[in-house]
């Protein structure tokens, strides 16, 4: 699991670096390993770009607390502080 996640994070940062217009905050690049950064990708995992900032924050907090049932996001959300979640949510909300 740890190695798979590390591999996913590695690819994600390369993909994010290619499409991001502004510099993403710490941790944001890891999300695009699973959440597609372009509408051209068909995936059951929703895009984060353009989602409401408050909705992203709320989802992350609910995943972290276990209030919202998840397959992987509960574990991922536990790795981020409130400040990091705020920064990541604001950045994705500003992306198109």
Residue closest to 76 by CA, chosen among 48, 52, 50, 49: 48
Taking the complex as a whole, how short is the minimal distance between the CB of residue 91 and ligand HEC, in angstroms?
Answer: 9
Q: How many residues of this chain bind ligand HEC (CB under 6 A)?
A: 19
- What letters, b where the CB count within 10 A reaches 16 and e where it falls short, cover 42-69? eeeeebbbebeeeebbebbebbbeeeee
> How many CB atoms are located within 10 Å of the residue 1 CB?
7
- Contact call for residue 11 and ligand HEC (CB under 6 A): no
- Contact call for residue 37 and ligand HEC (CB under 6 A): no
Taking the complex as a whole, how short is the minimal distance between the CB of residue 88 and ligand HEC, in angstroms?
Answer: 5
Binding residues for ligand HEC, rule: CB under 6 A, are 8, 27, 30-31, 33-35, 45-46, 48, 56, 59-60, 70-73, 76, 88
């Amino acid at each position: 699991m740890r190695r798979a996640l590390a591999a996913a994070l590695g690819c994600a940062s390369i993909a994010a670096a290619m499409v991001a217009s502004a510099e993403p905050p710490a941790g944001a690049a890891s999300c695009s390993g699973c959440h597609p950064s372009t509408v051209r990708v068909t995936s059951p995992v929703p895009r984060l770009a353009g989602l409401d900032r408050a909705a992203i924050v709320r989802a992350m907090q609910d995943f972290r607390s276990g209030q919202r049932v998840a397959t992987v996001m509960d574990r991922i959300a536990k790795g981020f502080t409130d400040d990091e979640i705020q920064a990541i949510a604001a950045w994705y909300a500003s992306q198109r």
